[in-house]
Amino acid sequence: MWIMNAVWPITALFGSFIWLAFYWRWGRADRKGKAPMWASVAKGASHCGAGCTLGDLTVEWLVVAFPAIATWFGWPALFAEKTFAVWIPDYLVAFAFGIAFQYWTIVPMRKLSPGQGLFAAVKADFASITAWQIGMYGMMALIQFGWFRAGLGHIAPVASVEFWFAMQLAMLAGFATAFPVNWWLISTGLKERM
């Protein structure tokens, strides 16, 4: 499916050589035979993760360019920490990208109408995207507030190598929390096996 041509390079942004090796072994279209369940689940989680990665990249840099976005989502009135306010649009945009990725996978596979495709995409990826973002936010919180603030005296700003290093680790944590959810979604038939 053509959407995977976007998924693999996007997931390599955080997964580096691990995802490249996985792509060479299980992701190429010319691969023979059926992938084992764990590989299908990893592909499904990576598919979801590509949307989450694009959403988080987009929003983090948008907030750097337009800081008022953080105030629209509760900083500093509701959240003293700007990071927490930014996580709201992070989730919303990641969700939109994730559903779009799922839509362009599920509609051709099942030959669905646009409305049926949107419903099926939300049903297939809501739990996966949510699990991914929870894992990602948890790891970012641990690194930013537990490691950087304690060690550096402040959290890493978006425009820093430290922030994007932390984001890579956070995306791996997102994959870890989305993997069992994707296993369940595929096992129950809510999500297609890839």
Asked if residue 61 is part of any domain, the answer here is yes
Give the chain's domain count: 1
Asked if residue 47 is part of any domain, the answer here is yes
Share of the chain above pLDDT 70, in %: 98
The mean of the pLDDT values for the chain is 93
Average pLDDT over residues 164-176: 97
Q: How far lies 94's CA from each of 18, 149, 152, 176, in Å?
A: 22, 26, 29, 17
Share of the chain above pLDDT 90, in %: 73
Q: Which domain holds residue 148?
A: 36-187
Asked if residue 192 is part of any domain, the answer here is no
Residue 50 confidence class, pLDDT cut points 50, 70, 90: very high
| pLDDT recorded at residue 28 | 79
pLDDT, one tens digit per residue, over 119-156 is 999 998 999 999 999 999 999 999 999 999 999 999 99
Asked if residue 14 is part of any domain, the answer here is no
Residue 109 confidence class, pLDDT cut points 50, 70, 90: confident
| pLDDT recorded at residue 179 | 98
Q: Is the dihedral of CA 120, 44, 173, 16 positive or negative?
A: negative
Asked if residue 56 is part of any domain, the answer here is yes
Asked if residue 10 is part of any domain, the answer here is no
Pair of tokens at residue 53: 């990665």
Residue 175 confidence class, pLDDT cut points 50, 70, 90: very high
The model carries a pTM of 0.92
pLDDT, one tens digit per residue, over 6-45 is 888 899 888 888 988 898 888 876 677 788 999 999 999 9
Instruction: Give the Cα separation of 132 and 181 in Å (integer).
Output: 9
| pLDDT recorded at residue 194 | 79
* Range list of β-strands (E), the chain: none
| pLDDT recorded at residue 105 | 86
Asked if residue 27 is part of any domain, the answer here is no
Asked if residue 151 is part of any domain, the answer here is yes
